[in-house]
Every structure is written in structure tokens, then in C-alpha cells.
Amino acid sequence: MNSSFVDEYPNVSAAHIDTLNPKALASADFYWSFYYSQGSDDLQHELFIQIAKQYKQTLTLEQQAQVLEHTNAGSEIISRFRIPKKHTQDTSYPQNDTAENELRKFHTTLDENFGESHGIALVTDMTRGLRVIDGLIISDRWYQPKERHMDDDVHASNFRRYILLKQPAKLATYEAIFGSLRNIWEHPLRSQHPKAEKISSRLASLALEWEINHPNEVFFPQGRST
């Protein structure tokens, strides 16, 4: 992603997530939500909820308050980067307006989910996690017939990369999120979830489409299937 902003927030261990400057942490995680959501507004919102869950587990109440104050200010974060022109699937809005809208959603999601009676507590981890997994698969399929210009592999699959192959994410928060999603994907009760059949069907389609774009490679490592 062509921005000096990325260079200011190098990879860190997931174990160090609670020692980072909360403002830098929130800025970096917000920025990379555009990369991991791949232009899907629904997936980006689900990632915001996952980020809030991680912050609630790892940040002190004082640090959570700093994050809320920082994301509410807005202008400092927005002024430091721009969304790649070809990022959003919905191109009806100017890029800077999209960033401002998403930052407001990010702040609202954090604010709601830091409270005990909102959001995450009302939905099981399995259901919420499968929503993110489904979103990853849908977004991956979006970029099989077209090219994604934020990656060396223009037809990359983030589901394959981070869930199946377990490659490290670019920031600690996302590494923790993907680690949680891997546990859900490998859980023996996943196949019994009401959404399991639909997700498996989408994944099978993604695997076929991905293999067309990657001759002589197989989507599932070591021949594993859905």
C-alpha cells in the first residue's frame, strides 16, 4: 500500500498488543482494516467488532478511553493516509469521505462494544467469527475475476493465507483476530452451525476460482478440504 503511514507501524508480537501507544494502535488498526476488508463495508464493520473485542480483553480502561478520544477526534488519523483509489467496491463516494465515514463507524463500534451490555455479549463467538470468515470468503471471490492492486498476488485469498496457511498478519491485533478465527474454523462444532453449509459452498467455489488463477497450485494445504 503506497503510504508512509504503514512504515510507522511495523509488525509487533501479539503478546505486546497491550504495551503499544493506544493512539498509534488505533490508527494502525483502522488503517489496515481497509486492507483486510478488501473493499467490503460489511466485512470492515465485522472487523471493527473484532478489534473492539481485542481491545476490551487487552487494554486497560484508561487505554480504552484514550482510544475512544483519539478515534473521535478524527482529523489526525484521516490526514495521515489516503485509501488506495481502487480499494472500495462501492466507488460512489469520494475516498476521503469514505475514510471519514468509516472512522465514525469505527469509533461508534468501539464505544458500543466497550460497554458490557452491547454488541459482542449478545452474539456467540462462533456466530460472530463465522460472519467474519464468510466475509473473507466473499471478498476473496470478488477478486478472482478481477485484480486487486494492494497485493503482490492480484488474486490472493486472505482466507487461505491467514486461516488455512496460518501466515502472520501485519499487526498484532489482526494476528489475534485471525488466531481466534482459526480456532473457530477448526472447532468440531463448526460443521453443526446453521451457516456452515452455505459457507462451505462458497468456499468450494472460491477454491475452484483461485486454482484457475494459480495454475499448478492447490487451494487447500496438504489436500485438506472444507
User: pLDDT tens-digit profile of 186-213?
Assistant: 999 899 999 999 999 999 999 999 999 9
DSSP string of 126-180, one letter each residue: HHHHHHHHHHHHHHHHHTSSS--TTSSSTT--HIIIIIIS-PPPSSHHHHHHHHH
DSSP string of 40-107, one letter each residue: -HHHHHHHHHHHHHHHHHHS-HHHHHHHHHHHHH-HHHHTT----TT--S--SS-HHHHHHHHHHHHH
The predicted pLDDT at position 3 comes to 38
First to last CA, the chain: 31
- 26-35, 47-56, 169-178 — which is least confidently predicted? 26-35
Write phi, then psi, for 133 (nearest 5 degrees).
Answer: -60, -45
129 Cβ contact list (under 8 Å, min separation 6)? 180, 181, 184
Please state, in angstroms and rounded to a whole number, the distance separating the CA atoms of residues 138 and 115: 30
With a cut of 70, say whether residue 83 has pLDDT above it.
Answer: no
CB atoms within 10 A of CB 53: 21
3-state secondary structure of 134: helix
Higher pLDDT: 213 or 83? It is 213
Task: Give 13-43 pLDDT, tens digit per residue.
Answer: 444 444 568 888 888 898 889 889 888 889 9
